[in-house]
Amino acid sequence: MLTVDHLRNKYIVSFYNVSKLNILNTAEIEQKVLPIVTNPGTQLLINFSGINFIDSAGFETLLKIYRASRINNSTFKFMNVSDEIKKLIKLVELEHIFEIA
């Protein structure tokens, strides 16, 4: 479901066979991704290719990762974001929080 590719201090998180970030998969995301951004100076990219929906639990998890990255001076960005996800981010008024690469 979730893969993490690592090259030096840059990490790319990708999803396979998943189209939604929701309550069913947020625990795995937190478990695998939060430790990455606790390392100062780390660059984290979340690859949203194939993701077309995020529920409140998904946004809560993304905000936890964002906060942890800010505390630890890490970089946290989204990539390959669909128009549907961009609309959801804007709808929940988080377009000024999350950075899309």
What is the tens place of the pLDDT at every residue in 50-94?
999 999 999 999 999 999 999 999 999 999 999 999 999 999 999
Cα–Cα distance, 68 to 84 (Å, whole number): 26
Instruction: Please write the tens of the pLDDT for every residue from 47-60.
Output: 999 999 999 999 99
Q: Where do the structural domains in the chain lie, given as residue ranges?
A: 2-77
**Average pLDDT for the chain:** 95
Q: How many beta carbons lie within 10 A of that of residue 32, not counting itself?
A: 15
The CA dihedral of 50, 87, 70, 29, to the nearest 10 degrees, is -30
The CATH superfamily label for domain 2-77 reads STAS domain (3.30.750.24)
